[in-house]
Amino acid sequence: MPELAGIWSPIRLTLALASITTLVLLILGTPIAWWLARSKSLWKEVVATLVALPLVLPPTVLGFYLLVALGPNGPGGWVAGRFGGHSLAFRFEGLVIGSVLYSLPFVVQPIRNAFEALGERPLEVAATLRASPWDAFWSVAVPLARPGFLTGTVLGFAHTVGEFGVVLMIGGNIPGETKVLSIAIYDYVETLQWAQAHLVAGGMLAFSFVVILTTFLLERRIGRAGTDALNHR
């Protein structure tokens, strides 16, 4: 469609951002969730609060401090300077950093809940079979926590796709670099291109519905498979 010829770049950029962010969130979020589920440390609730902070913090507040941190005079500027740049703000790499921080609780919390639901028994059984803590984690805890990983993956991906405030603050509106779908919709509305805005917004609405429905169906199937496996033991 001619009126949507310029939307493919934001679509590709959004999918790339959501995919990279979700992968990073799983790598970082899994050990954090495991520690929060198993630790007895006095700092546990402090760390849990920091992880959950983006849930209640206005996106503009988080975006502002990220803009300062990623700018030329912040740590992001120092890192960029090592690679010949002057800032991580208004760059795709900055969007990834902001998205990881903003979507962190949406991945950590479901995985933490899944780890906590395991209880001690499966790991104790693994220990009696001389499994090391590392082996028990990968062969027992992770497979049993699959619903939590599935929910965290879907929520992290979908939340990143729908971001607006944070990405606008730290990325601006640079075509091909930081202009994601949510910013494109804002542009269409601001320039009174209602037909284009309706099409893109409707597509994101349909995408969100399909993602959530698929998650529910997969969780139901995984739960049923787990129950059947227990019944056949």
Token couple for 168: 């606008």
The reported pLDDT for the residue numbered 109 is: 95
Q: How far is the first Cα of the chain from the last one, in angstroms, to the nearest whole number?
A: 56
pTM of the model: 0.86
Q: Encoding tokens for residue 38?
A: 């198993």
Cα–Cα distance list, 162 to 12, 129, 202 (Å): 14, 45, 13
pLDDT at 83: 76
Residue 3 confidence class, pLDDT cut points 50, 70, 90: low
Predicted confidence at residue 72, as pLDDT, reads 87
DSSP state, 183? H
pLDDT for 131 equals 80
Q: Give the Å distances, CA to CA, from 106 to 17, 52, 150, 159.
A: 16, 8, 11, 8
Alpha helices (runs of H) in 87-193, residue ranges in sequence order: 92-118, 121-128, 133-136, 142-144, 146-161, 165-171, 181-190
* Least-confidence region, from 26-30, 104-108, 220-224: 220-224
pLDDT band at 226 (very low <50, low <70, confident <90, very high): low
pLDDT at 160: 93
- The pLDDT, as a whole number, for residue 230 is 40
Per-residue pLDDT reduced to its tens digit, 151-166 = 899 999 989 998 898 9
Quote the pLDDT of residue 49: 94
The pair of structure tokens assigned to 221 is 């199937």
**CB-based contact 208:157 (threshold 8 Å):** no
Say what the pLDDT of residue 111 is.
95
The whole-chain average pLDDT of the chain stands at 86
Q: What percent of the chain has pLDDT over 70?
A: 93
Is residue 4 classed exposed, middle or buried when 0-12, 13-18 and 19+ CB atoms within 10 A define those classes? middle
User: Which of the pair, 46 or 228, is modelled with greater confidence?
Assistant: 46
Q: 198 is written with which tokens?
A: 């309706």
User: pLDDT, tens digit, for every residue of 113-139?
Assistant: 999 988 888 888 887 888 888 888 888
The 10s digit of each residue's pLDDT in 42-59 is 899 999 999 999 999 998
- Rounded CA separation 142/154 (Å): 17
